[in-house]
Structure 1
């Protein structure tokens, strides 16, 4: 497909993190899905956790859009595909609207996506209008939709906020604080280290989304008829098709751990493995499942520290993993997948939890974030693949743990611009490659294949 497709679309942004973007996007998606509209949601920047809520709300897969990590052409291709099958496209921003070199504002301006600004107005009056004006006018030619006030105390507070706007047409409504009563008041979307609790871990997740959708339905934004959304229609054109990738994993069976302990999985990474020719089979270590017959194994990130007892109780799987390694079959373990292979982890309360013990070393879970941001592995890190691919394997890092291991350091995932500060080590032990680096496989598919023995 190369023809342009028009579809209403919004980028939901904010002046900073913690303003309520995820709640608003999930509420919008749920509200319109309940009305029978086909909604597709995307998330700006690298994020595995917010998409769990958006998938539940919309009923469709959620992919990241990131001008640096996934690239503009990938963004355009996915938006074009979504526009061809959806009635509405929603894009959740990341951090503040103008934060970072590949900011949400840059994405919106480059792709022509109107910006809806969500502002936490809980401790704000007339300054709300100044902040809205600044977000709207700070960059020239920024597509603009309006502003939504969040955590508003009541109608009098909402009237005060609305009166402070320079342009009355910017007002799209006010949301009150939304809580869930389950014995005691709790946050609508609860958090822990790394971010939001995944929706599938909460039995009342859909009820939480319905509560948010019900509140949004009372706002001008929520009361808009489908035809009114055409004011934000965007023309999406697919980029030229790229060169086909060699099927470097053709005929290879790749097993992927996928459950609450290994939940940080981009669906697009699975798509890339299949496009490389792999036969992908997911399995759940937490549910006692054993290792499928495979030539390679991917252990994605997640929360093995929360499920250490259940993982170590699956002794059959641990012995299968040991045999897999002894046979020289590759394992790529990232983030929590790397932690699960270690001998133990020291939790924040000082308890020591044993893990699989297949990678020498131990981890420590800290109270403070240890690393955050984009990283990339240069082609020179992949000895046999170096001559075939000039693009680095891009991705990101985000973790509260540190690792002390005697395993060999065979590569470094660097900040953009080859900045060695904060580099993430890639460890090798036998057939294991492990790191806190979370790659976006589509950025350099042949290098991703190399990690799984396709080199």
Structure 2
């Protein structure tokens, strides 16, 4: 007989980006945590930065849910694990409720999650009802209620509440006097905000609950699937050196879990601190991040650059994703037009640009099947090196990001989600890379 757990779950969604989903989800998570509740938060779709903020707000790791990249079964197992240790589960949606293939609405319907709509009420009153009813009925989805953001006064809140008719107004938030600073890839990293915890506490205090509506929130039945078989320990006995600092911060926590499940020992180091690739490493993993913001520091990090060149000369497998690849080109030209010498393992130059250069879900065909992931970048690589392969965009099937090989280096703008195909992920870190 299938085992299940009932726990309140809310998918926090909106009509579009910019309505305040991340702010509201963070405020809600912090408010509930301060009340002594065990809160687990997920992020819908591929994202690295929002989960860092939500982890800080909730006090627990934040993982990804996505019906295509993560897959329904892995989503289910992650939800079941969270349900066993949580009083409430929050899921921040991506873009608008129905945007994307699959969308946040698809995820809500697949698992029976009620939706909590965040609306920016700053420039509307009664029209809020039309907007929210449209969000509910278009899919349709189950609409648990509404959190109205940037509400001007109690009178304004009352007009919004009346317009919702049969949909409860769960909470309101006033216009925030300050917000998290942003840059080209989204919010700044939480570690760069000195008083972040004070900001989160302030947001939690500003979130005004309807206690009766909150107490009426129903539980969602989460099935606990049978334990999945552990992946073959293809990396047993291998030590993988992983760059981890402000320049290389874009890394799925699930990728690290998968590498450990595959038997690898993980050792972290900081190129920004001019730390070399650790002695004894069998492979190197350079995830994405913001090397363009730290190009001058990386250019002066002689020990780091010498060590990655030595690792490459020794034929250690090196996997470089997006920002990791950028740090291995000959040069990197930043947003100010200044050019900096990088490690020089990948011939060519990286140039930052104002326009988005790549965005969306993609998959890489391998001998082990498709390795899924995504891309999101504002730079381009100018190189004479011919691509060894290309990813495939989802769902269009068009050619996506180029994948380059230079000796033992595998480099691409593609961010792989390792749990989507552990065998393919393992092969990247072995001498005979896929």
TM tier, shorter chain? Answer: over 0.9
Counterpart Cα distance in 1 of 2:274 and 2:33: 35
Residue 219 of structure 1 corresponds to which residue in structure 2? 209
Contact 1:178 1:211 in 2 (8 A): no
Residue 143 of structure 1 corresponds to which residue in structure 2? 142
Is 1:176 aligned to residue 174 of structure 2?
Answer: yes
Residue 425 of structure 2 corresponds to which residue in structure 1? 448
Residue 382 of structure 1 corresponds to which residue in structure 2? none
SS of the residue corresponding to residue 36 of structure 1 reads coil
1:229 is displaced (CA, Å) by: 4.1
Contact 2:49 2:186 in 1 (8 A): yes
1:313 is displaced (CA, Å) by: 2.1
Q: What does 1:40-189 correspond to in 2, within 5 Å?
A: 40-140=40-140, 142-167=141-166, 169-180=167-178, 188-189=179-180
In structure 1, the gaps of 5 or more residues are: 181-187, 380-385
1:261 is displaced (CA, Å) by: 0.4
Do the aligned partners of residues 229 and 334 (structure 1) sit closer, same or farther apart at CA in structure 2, a change above 3 Å counting?
farther
Do the aligned partners of residues 33 and 325 (structure 1) sit closer, same or farther apart at CA in structure 2, a change above 3 Å counting?
same
Do the aligned partners of residues 117 and 417 (structure 1) sit closer, same or farther apart at CA in structure 2, a change above 3 Å counting?
closer
Counterpart Cα distance in 2 of 1:289 and 1:320: 9
Counterpart Cα distance in 2 of 1:209 and 1:2: 39
**Aligned residue pair count:** 431
Counterpart Cα distance in 2 of 1:409 and 1:124: 50
Moved more, 255-264 or 170-179: 170-179
Instruction: Name the TM-score, length of structure 1 as normaliser.
Output: 0.91
Counterpart Cα distance in 2 of 1:50 and 1:352: 30
- Superposed CA RMSD: 1.7
Counterpart Cα distance in 2 of 1:272 and 1:418: 28
Is 1:367 aligned to residue 354 of structure 2?
Answer: yes
Residue 185 of structure 1 corresponds to which residue in structure 2? none
1:189 is displaced (CA, Å) by: 1.6
Moved more, 30-39 or 68-77: 30-39
Residue 255 of structure 1 corresponds to which residue in structure 2? 241
- 1:326-368: CA deviations, max 9, x gaps? 0111100001000011121222332222222222111111111
Counterpart Cα distance in 2 of 1:295 and 1:13: 43
Is 1:191 aligned to residue 174 of structure 2?
Answer: no
Moved more, 403-412 or 320-329: 403-412
Do the aligned partners of residues 240 and 230 (structure 1) sit closer, same or farther apart at CA in structure 2, a change above 3 Å counting?
farther
Contact 1:248 1:454 in 2 (8 A): no
SS of the residue corresponding to residue 274 of structure 1 reads helix
Counterpart Cα distance in 2 of 1:55 and 1:48: 11
Contact 2:293 2:334 in 1 (8 A): no
In structure 2, the gaps of 5 or more residues are: none
Residue 193 of structure 2 corresponds to which residue in structure 1? 202
Structure 1 stretches of 4+ moved >3 Å: 240-244
Residue 330 of structure 1 corresponds to which residue in structure 2? 317
